[in-house]
A and B are shown apart, each in its own frame.
Chain A
């Protein structure tokens, strides 16, 4: 089945640690995105990539980093510089008409 796979589903991190969330898609989409979701809030854009080897900061990029070495993969690293990293993280890719398709999400908890 075509889709977007995020892993891990749940992740626990100690303060001061970097963690990397995986996102893989087999939809052959060029554009990929990372969003953060907090309770009662809309989705906020962290980073996006419209093509391999290129990515742009979104609205809340501070404390996060990404790479886009392959079309299928767009991993997100939550660094120790992110002061409030506990959240639900969503990866998405989009069609040429701009419809976003999301993965199942990764819930990060800082202990």
Chain B
């Protein structure tokens, strides 16, 4: 069974530029999560999707971050414009449902200069 796929693996951009991350969850997993992880910290949830519906986006900074999961499968997370403090690892995870075990993708390491 293929795991969670994310791209790109690394991204370096200048501040104020836009950036987008893509995630394809494990086949059959209807719940998809985007997390942010800073060095020395645990992952922090940004947004959770149940199929195509964003059911928990309370921690997503909506002034600059947006996400979509149009067909209930893969998802895109966008930052526009990026700030220096956005440098972090962006992790995507999926599960069979809320409360079930979550499986993480390899992450996208973002560096904003």
Do A and B come from the same complex?
no
What is the interface of chain A, defined by CB distance below 8 A to chain B? none
B residues engaging A (CB < 8 A)? none
